[in-house]
A and B are shown apart, each in its own frame.
Chain A
C-alpha cells in the first residue's frame, strides 16, 4: 500500500483518460500518448521525406540534363521554370529547400520525433513521458514549423536561395539574394522548430533520468535509449544556438540590424560559427539514434549480446562530446585563422576513433552469431557497410590539405548522403519495419521489404558513389549547369548516369510506401514478440494501450541476453522475464521533501 502515500490529490485527469473512452480527436489528434505522438511524427515526417525527395529529383534532372525541359515542369509557375526548363534561381531554391526539408523535417523528426517518443518510455518501462502535454505541444509546433517552411514556396520570390546553411551576408541581404518573405519564413520556421525540439528533448532527458522502471539501471538500458538520450542532450544545447542565430538573421532581414552585414561593421563569419556550432552537433543528432537502433537490431539479428556494450555507450558519449569541438571543419576554406584550422582538423580526425569502435563492435556482434536475415537486419547490415563508407570519406575532408580541392564539391555531397541516406535512412527503414508491429499490430510484408532493400541498396550506391568521382573532378556544389565549365564537360556522362540511378532509387521507394500503407490494413497480424526480442516493449500487446503497463514492470537483466545459457532451449531472454533465480529490484526512495 506504499504507493497510496505518494498519490497526489490533484492532476487526476491523466489517470482518468486511461480508462474513459476517448473521442477520435482526443485519441489520435490531440493525443498526449507518447506512442500516438510518435506515430503522428512518423506520418508527417514521411510526407516531408517525400517532398524532399521530389525536390531532389528536380535537382538531378537539371544536373543530368541541363537546359532540357523538366518532364511535367509545365505545371510549375513561370517564376520557377521557363518553357519547362528550370531557372537558375529555382535551382538554387531546390537545393536549399531539399537540404532544409531533409535535415530539419524528415531525418531529424524521423529519428528523434518518432523513435525517441515511441521507444524511450516503452524501452525503459515507463507509462508515458514525464510531460505528456509538453510532448503534444512539441509535435504541433514541429508541424507548424513544417507548414511555415512549406508556405515559403507560395510567397512572392519563393523560398530561400542561400542553401540550407543560409550563409550570410547572402541570406541577410534581400537585395543580394532576391528573397524577401521566404527568408523570413525560413527563420521563423526554424525558431518554432527549435522550440519544438527543446520541448521534446527536455521530455526525453527527464523521462530517461527519472522514469526508468525498477531494475532498469543505466547500464541495462538498450543502446537505442542511450543514443536517444545523448541525442536529446545535444538537441537541448544545440538548437537554442541555431534559434539565436536565426533570430539575428531574421532581424537583419526585417529590422535592419547589422549582425552579419560587414558593410556596417557586422561579421560574415559570425553566422558560420554560430550555424556550425549548432550544425555539427546536429549532424550527430542525425546519426546517433540511427546507430543506437541499429545496435538493437543487429544484436537481435545475430542472436548475440552486443559486443562491447560499455565501449558502445562510451563511444556514443565520445562522439557527442567531440561533436562540440569540431564545427570549424566546415570552415577550413573560410579564411578562418589556419592555426584554428589545425586544431579543428585534429579533433575531427579523432571522431574517427569512436566511430571505428562502433563499426568494429557491430562486426564483433555478428561474429559467431546465428544470423537471422529479417528485413530490419538486412537494412541494419546495409547501414553498417554504408556508414563505413560515409565515415571513411569524411577523413579525406578532415585532412585539411586534401580538403582544399574537395571542399564544397560533389565529394562532400557524396559524403553527407552516405552518412544521412546510407546511414540514417537505412537505419530508419530497419527501425520502421522493426517497430511497425508495436505501432500498428501488423507486420510489414517481408518479400516486398527484402526486394525494397536490395533494390535500394543497389540504386543508392549507383547514385551516390559516382558523386565522389565527380567531386574529385572538381564539380562545385549547387551549380546550376556544370557543362559551362570545360573541366567539367568530360564527366557529364557520369552526371547523366547518376541522374538515371537517382530516378530509379526514387521509384523503388514506391515499394516501401506501398508496403507501409498496405500493411496497415492487410499486413499479417503480429504475434506479441514477432522478432523474439528482449526489449521491455515486447511484454505488451501490439499495439500497446495508452499508459503502457497496468503496473510498473520490473527489469531483471540487461537488454542483450540473446543465447544466454540460462535461456534454456530459447535463444533470447527478455528483460522482463523473471527466472526462478531472479529477485525483484527494490524501487528507489522518492526525492527528499516531496
Chain B
C-alpha cells in the first residue's frame, strides 16, 4: 500500500481516533448541533415563560383562539413520523434496502428503508402543511403576531369576553405563538428537505448498508429531537 492511499484513507471518517468519544464524527457533530439547538429553543421557550408569568393579564384560555383538536391530530402525525423513522433505521440495520416486499404467509408486505423513510417524509410534509393551513386560518380570524387585528372576528370576541380571549395580552400571545411554532415548523421543513435530499442521493441508489447507515442515523437523531420539541411546545402553547 502506498503512502498516498494511506493518507487518503486517514482523511475520511472514521479516522483512527484516539481516544475519541467512541462515536463517529457525523453523529458527534449532530449531537453538538442539537445541544446548540436546545439553547436556541431554550431562549424562545424561556422568554415565553418569563413573558407569560410576568404579563399584566391572563393568557387566553386553551382552545379559545387556537384549534386544539386539529393540532392534536397534527401532533399525532408527527409522532407517527418518529415511529416510521425508527422503522427506517431498523430496516437498514437489517439490510432491508427495498421499498415493499411480500412476506410469504402474511397479508401485509414488509416495508424496507425506502418505504419507511418515505412515510416519514410524507408525515413531516403533512405536519408542515397542516401548520400552514392553521396559520392561514388564524390570520384570517384576526390572530396575528401583533395580537388581534382590529375589526376582525377575534377582536370582536375578545371585546365581548376579554377574560376568555386574554384580550390584555393578545399581543404577547401572538408574538410568542407565531415565533415558537414558526421556528419549529422551519426545523421540520429543514428536516424534510434533508431527508428528500438523502432519499434521492443515497436511499434510492441503495448506498446505505447494514455496515454504513450514518446518514439515516444522523437525520434520525435530528428528527426525534424536533419531535420532542414539538411535544413540549404543544403542551405549553396549546394545552396550558
Contacts and interface: CB of A to CB of B under 8 A. Distances in A.
Whether chains A and B associate is yes
Interface of A: 1, 3-4, 6-8, 10-12, 14-15, 18-19, 126-128, 130-131, 134, 198, 201-203, 205-207, 209-218, 236-241, 243-245, 247-248, 251-252, 255-259, 261, 264-267, 270, 273-274, 547, 549-552, 585, 587-588, 590-592, 594
A547 to B, nearest CB: 6
A128 B9 CA distance: 13
Contacts of B22: 591-592
B144 to A, nearest CB: 8
Main DSSP-derived SS at the B contact region = helix
A266 B51 contact: yes
Contacts of B178: 255, 257
18 contacts: A3-B16, A6-B16, A10-B207, A127-B7, A128-B11, A202-B29, A210-B23, A217-B19, A247-B179, A248-B47, A255-B145, A259-B47, A259-B51, A265-B169, A549-B7, A588-B18, A588-B20, A594-B14
Contacts, number: 213
Interface stretch (B38-46, B67-75, B96-104, B220-228): B38-46
Given A244-B47, A590-B16, A210 B9 contact: no
Given A130-B25, A551-B7, A259 B175 contact: yes
Contact of B6 (A3, A12, A207, A257): A3
Contacts of A594: 14, 24, 211-212, 214
Contacts of A547: 7, 11
A15 B179 contact: no
A206 B44 contact: no
B57 interface: yes
Given A14-B11, A127-B10, A202 B24 contact: no
A7 B9 contact: yes
Q: Which of A127, A131, A236, A594: most chain B Cβ within 10 A? A: A594
A120 B220 CA distance: 29
Contacts of A205: 28, 32
Interface in B14-62: 14-25, 28-29, 32-33, 35-37, 39-44, 47, 50-51, 54-57
Contacts of A550: 3-4, 6-7
Contact of B25 (A211, A215, A256, A267): A211
B175 A267 contact: no
A435 B44 CA distance: 41
Contact of B17 (A212, A241, A270, A549): A212
B174 interface: yes
A205 B28 CA distance: 9
Contacts of B145: 251, 255-257
A274 B43 CA distance: 7
A212 B174 CA distance: 49
B12 interface: yes
A206 B29 contact: yes
